[in-house]
Amino acid sequence: MSGIQMTSNNSNMRNTAMPFKKTRVWLFSLLVLAISAYGMWIMFDILNSNGMTPLEYALLALFSITFTWIVTAFCSGCMGFILQLFRIDPLTLTRQKAIEIDKQALSKTRTAVVMPIYNEDTQRVIAGFEVSLRSLIKTGQFAHFDFYLLSDTQDKEIANNELKAWYALSERLGDLAKQTFYRRRENNKHRKVGNLTDFCERWGSKYEHMIVLDADSIMTGQCMLELTSSMSNNPQAGLIQTIPIPVRQDTFFGRFLQFASVLYSPMLATGSAFWQTNHANYWGHNAVIRVKAFIDCCGLPVLKGNAPFGGEILSHDFVEASLLHRSGWDVLLLSDIQGSYEEVPSNILDYAIRDRRWVQGNIQHLGLLPASGLKIMSKLHFLLGATAYISSLIWLSMLVLSTIDAVTRALNSNVYFNQPYQLFPTWQIAKTELINSLLFVTIVLLLLPKLMGIIVTLIHRNKQFGGSFKLILGSIIETVFAIIIAPLMMVFHSYFVVCVFLGKKVTWDAQPRSGRMVPWQEAIGYTLLATLVAAAWGGIAYYFTPVFFWWLSPILVGLILAAPIVRYSSSIGLGVKLRKMGIFICPSEVDNNDTLAALRVHEQEIALPNDDVANFSIPALPQEQPSVMPIQSFKRQGISKRKRVLNAHQQLKKRLFN
């Protein structure tokens, strides 16, 4: 497709037709390949200086994968830096403009705002749901929206709390409650995928669009209107994603994560939007979706075979985006839309546990790479998503192999005649200059995007981070801490990847979201093995090759001190103290966002009714308008579109008459 054509007569609306689409992809690809090839050549020259062994060939292969991954992120950051510095829209390549709300287009559509939940903290869910709804009411456009709380909760006590809280919410809303609905599934078949499928098949066809929120999402009314207006005025768009910004963190780790995300994510997302054009990705929430496109294209099958590639599709969002691409719909990333928020885990362990689920879901995508009909860009999303976690195992493998190689070379350093009847000695060659060059290039690739993010922020958003001095000091602390915890996250991710390939499954339960200080027993329990292995590893390296030991020491220190790092980084007191000092300050705190402020007040004020749940009837739901989401095929000889439509009609008849 050549791009998105506007249907609105409003000349002020952003024109999102995308020039030079193929040129951008080629430019980005060639840049990544050129830098990656340069790094690989240097590594090959270093390893080949004394002849290549099988071990060194393995090192080169592993290095090539991880280095290309780093280069891809670096190039994306560079693109984002240039575009944000000059405030150029990454899709249109024109001067960035604010999105104007097309009230005429809004008046002709209906949008459902849906929040799927599962065993969540009831008060937090209701508070977030209500403040987002009330923020939309303030815009004067609430009449065009309905809100759905789609519960998959299986815990009876939580389910009872949800019912009581819903009736209390309905009383507070008064007449506005007519546009809000609560549905709970007794059988949460297919988890979140099944939850949204149930909504789409029962009520989806009543709406042109749906905005999908997560249980911890908060979204301003203005953000909802901008997303919906963008969708209304871009008829080829099947999904529009914006950046969910982390908020409301109190622990040191939570505030570190929140600060890093709000500082760097807009730049990185802008760079991604530039080269992905209309083939962006979907992150599962805080996005607007064209309901008809979703129903027609995104019915997910259960994959044949066992884990890690078989079974239910776990990270469904990537796959849904790829199915929209396959059917000709555009998926856009609008990185400049603000007012989209989420919450993140407050400590390293909860963060790692969340990643454990994502590791399993993303690795499963590798099994879909041969799938028929999927676009190359979709397959690239699958590959990059899996590599984000597999690269940790690769880095760990490289470090282990490098240690073995260094120890082997140390033991053989005085052996100059290693062949029978050899007339001349084999002198060991050390290309120190090349080693230093490669190390310098790698550090630049890793740290320069951070510096670029800081520069853009200093120029355009300085005051929103508490001023230049506090911004720079916070970014230094963030960078140092990121380096310290990197070895521990590498070990966690490596372990998770191995578990996934061994077929070990993980439960996809509700995430802990509130701040907590990790007990010593828990911190030690999760990190003791890594600490003991790191101590033994360091001892061996120091005994045989002290020079290599000092090169390895930053990794070893992070692992040996893992338990104290986990414990003290979860401190609420430390996080609050830094906030009072102006460190890790974020725009959502400086700007005194009305919606977030209302959420803080609302959480404290909301109280569950003391009434017996037996006094509450099941909440009324709107009249159903049944439709069927046809199950998609990933087989090479997939069923035709006509046959999928016929199957859908047959399923609909069964639903209506049985």
pLDDT tens digit string along 128-147?
999 999 999 999 999 999 99
346 has a pLDDT exceeding 50: yes
416 vs 442, residue with greater confidence: 442
Q: Sheet harboring 209-212: ordered strands across? A: 180-184, 145-151, 111-117, 209-212, 287-290, 237-241, 330-333
- The pLDDT of residue 413 is 60
Per the CB < 8 A criterion, the answer to whether 197 and 288 are in contact is no
Long-range contacts at 561-566 (CB < 8 A, ≥ 24 apart):
562/488, 562/523, 562/527, 562/530, 562/531, 563/520, 563/523, 563/524, 563/527, 563/528, 563/531, 564/523, 565/348, 565/484, 565/485, 565/488, 566/347, 566/348, 566/349, 566/488, 566/518, 566/523, 566/526, 566/527
- The pLDDT of residue 417 is 43
Task: Work out the average pLDDT over 360-375.
Answer: 90
604 has a pLDDT exceeding 90: no
- The pLDDT of residue 183 is 96
- The pLDDT of residue 76 is 96
Tens of pLDDT, residues 491-539? 999 999 999 998 887 665 556 667 789 999 999 999 999 999 999 999 9
- The pLDDT of residue 351 is 93
649 has a pLDDT exceeding 70: no
Interhelix angle 54-85/21-47, nearest 10 degrees: 140
Task: Work out the average pLDDT over 286-300.
Answer: 96
418 has a pLDDT exceeding 60: no
- The pLDDT of residue 602 is 86
- The pLDDT of residue 415 is 45
8 has a pLDDT exceeding 80: no
pLDDT tier, 47 (very low <50, low <70, confident <90, very high otherwise): confident
Contacts of 203 (CB under 8 A, 6+ apart): 112, 148, 621, 622, 624, 625
Tens of pLDDT, residues 589-600? 988 788 998 998
Tens of pLDDT, residues 232-275? 989 999 999 999 999 999 999 999 999 999 999 999 999 999 99
- The pLDDT of residue 647 is 54
- The pLDDT of residue 50 is 66
- The torsion of the CA quartet 459, 465, 466, 468, rounded to 10 degrees, works out to -40
Which of 431-435, 549-553, 645-649 is predicted least confidently?
Answer: 645-649
**CA dihedral sign of residues 460, 466, 472, 474:** negative
Task: Work out the average pLDDT over 187-195.
Answer: 92
Q: What is the DSSP letter of 95?
A: B
Q: What is the DSSP letter of 631?
A: B
Enumerate domains of the chain plus CATH numbers.
Answer: 104-233 (3.90.550.10)
Per-residue b or e along 299-332, where b marks 16 or more CB atoms closer than 10 Å to that residue's CB = bbeebeeebbbeebbbbbbbbbbbbbbbeebbbb
- The pLDDT of residue 448 is 95
Main-chain phi, psi angles of 426, to 5 degrees: -95, 110
What average pLDDT is seen over the chain?
Answer: 87
237 vs 436, residue with greater confidence: 237
pLDDT tier, 305 (very low <50, low <70, confident <90, very high otherwise): confident
Contacts of 180 (CB under 8 A, 6+ apart): 133, 146, 147, 148, 149, 169, 170, 173
pLDDT tier, 432 (very low <50, low <70, confident <90, very high otherwise): low
- The pLDDT of residue 639 is 43
- Residue 24 to residues 247, 272, 452, 508, 638, Cα–Cα distance (Å): 33, 11, 21, 38, 31
641 has a pLDDT exceeding 70: no
Which of 6-20, 228-242, 400-414 is predicted least confidently?
Answer: 6-20
- The pLDDT of residue 1 is 34
> Tokens at residue 212, please?
């999908």
214 vs 2, residue with greater confidence: 214
- The pLDDT of residue 13 is 39
Which of 194-198, 388-392, 636-640 is predicted least confidently?
Answer: 636-640
Which of 262-276, 357-371, 421-435 is predicted least confidently?
Answer: 421-435
pTM above the 0.85 mark? yes
Which residues lie across from 444 on neighbouring strands?
A: none
